[in-house]
């Protein structure tokens, strides 16, 4: 459904994207992960046909997105990293404008999206918070029921409740066969929705992985606070991988097998447990360490 083939763009100064290639199949939700400045938005602008690749090409459903501009727009929904709204518009007038560009949309669908994302489309856009603007952009990307939806950091600015609504929307569309590409710098966001993810760093794709495979190598750090020191000492000699400890608090690193951890902690009086998830960079470092060992 989407093919990115050897796309290269070098900006003056040497930054850019280099030989970026991946494919996304019909009905697949594909994550595009990377730290700030890695090249996610630049790749997405090429996918949308807004930038001419120096080398390579992008195809959506067989259309070359640079050469066949205009021909594939109805097929695609797009949420940019930062939306440019025209002066003086309300949410409603912006969505009307976008609907007319799409040749009309199902008004019921549009109203349902607004209701689920809970915002007042009569508000002038200049008075909207970042999160509200993001919601308007999400409605614009979804309302014409496109076959492919491209989202650049879709949950930025959304509160946790709205992130959940957004994830539900993606999963519903996925069930209908819609294809997604969404960028993010957060692994937890990607792992809830995506089947596969590409990781981009310094403009180069460093890996394309099955998300579930990454989940399996993801380490979690549990900070366990015991009621008493004797329990803590017994726990320290349990054979679990201890990261550090102080007073009645122990940090344990767990990878994959949570059963041993829960069985062991169940033996003691626990005051509290906090959990810390590895950041993206660490997950990939671990993945490559493991690959190196295999």
Ligand X SMILES: Nc1ncnc2c1ncn2[C@@H]1O[C@H](COP(=O)(O)OP(=O)(O)OP(=O)(O)O)[C@@H](O)[C@H]1O
Residues 9-28 touching ligand X, rule: CB under 6 A, are 11, 15-16
**Residue nearer to ligand X on the CB measure, 38 or 194:** 38
Contact flag: residue 40 with ligand X (CB under 6 A): yes
Question: What long-range pairs does 4-8 form, CB within 8 A, spacing at least 24?
Answer: 4/43, 4/46, 4/47, 4/56, 4/58, 5/56, 5/57, 5/58, 5/59, 6/55, 6/56, 6/57, 7/43, 7/46, 7/53, 7/55, 7/56, 7/57, 7/58, 8/53, 8/54, 8/55, 8/56
> Whole-angstrom Cα distance, residue 64 to residue 57?
7
The torsion defined by the Cα of 18, 189, 192 and 147, in degrees rounded to 10, comes to -60
Site string for ligand X, 133-172 (x = CB under 6 A): ----------------------------------------
By CB under 6 A, how many residues form the interface with ligand X? 13
Contact flag: residue 80 with ligand X (CB under 6 A): no
Contact flag: residue 42 with ligand X (CB under 6 A): yes
Q: Which of 185, 204, 219, 248 binds ligand X (CB under 6 A)?
A: 185
Contact flag: residue 211 with ligand X (CB under 6 A): no
In angstroms, give the least distance from the CB of 99 to ligand X.
Answer: 28
In angstroms, give the least distance from the CB of 247 to ligand X.
Answer: 39
Estimate the share of the chain in helix, then strand, then coil, as percent rounded to the nearest 5.
Answer: 35, 30, 35
Q: Which of 2, 7, 20, 38 binds ligand X (CB under 6 A)?
A: 38
Contact flag: residue 218 with ligand X (CB under 6 A): no
Contact flag: residue 36 with ligand X (CB under 6 A): yes
Q: How many CA atoms, within 13 angstroms, populate the side-chain half-sphere of residue 40?
A: 26
Binding site for ligand X (CB under 6 A): 11, 15-16, 34, 36-42, 81, 185
């Amino acid at each position: 459904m989407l093919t990115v083939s050897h796309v290269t763009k070098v900006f003056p100064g040497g930054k850019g994207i280099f030989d970026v290639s991946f494919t996304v199949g019909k009905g697949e939700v594909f994550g595009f992960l990377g730290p700030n400045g890695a090249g996610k938005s630049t790749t997405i602008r090429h996918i949308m046909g807004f930038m001419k690749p120096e080398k390579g090409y992008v195809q959506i459903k067989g259309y070359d997105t640079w050469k066949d501009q205009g021909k594939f727009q109805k097929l695609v929904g797009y949420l940019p990293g930062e939306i440019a709204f025209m002066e003086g518009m309300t949410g409603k007038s912006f969505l009307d404008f976008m609907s007319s560009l799409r040749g009309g949309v199902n008004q019921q669908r549009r109203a349902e999206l607004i209701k689920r994302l809970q915002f007042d489309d009569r508000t002038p856009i200049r008075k909207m918070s970042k999160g509200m603007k993001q919601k308007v952009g999400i409605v614009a990307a979804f309302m014409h029921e496109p076959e492919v939806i491209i989202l650049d950091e879709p949950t930025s600015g959304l509160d946790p409740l709205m992130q959940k609504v957004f994830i539900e929307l993606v999963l519903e569309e996925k069930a209908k066969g819609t294809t997604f590409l969404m960028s993010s710098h957060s692994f937890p966001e990607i792992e809830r929705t995506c089947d596969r993810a590409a990781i981009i760093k310094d403009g180069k794709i460093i890996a394309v992985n099955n998300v579930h495979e990454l989940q399996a190598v993801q380490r979690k750090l549990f900070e366990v606070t015991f009621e008493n020191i004797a329990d803590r000492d017994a726990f320290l000699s349990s054979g679990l991988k201890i990261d550090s400890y102080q007073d009645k608090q122990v940090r344990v690193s767990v990878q994959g097998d949570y059963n041993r951890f829960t069985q062991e902690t169940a033996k003691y009086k626990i005051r509290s447990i906090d959990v810390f998830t590895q950041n993206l960079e660490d997950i990939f470092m671990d993945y490559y360490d493991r690959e190196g060992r295999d």
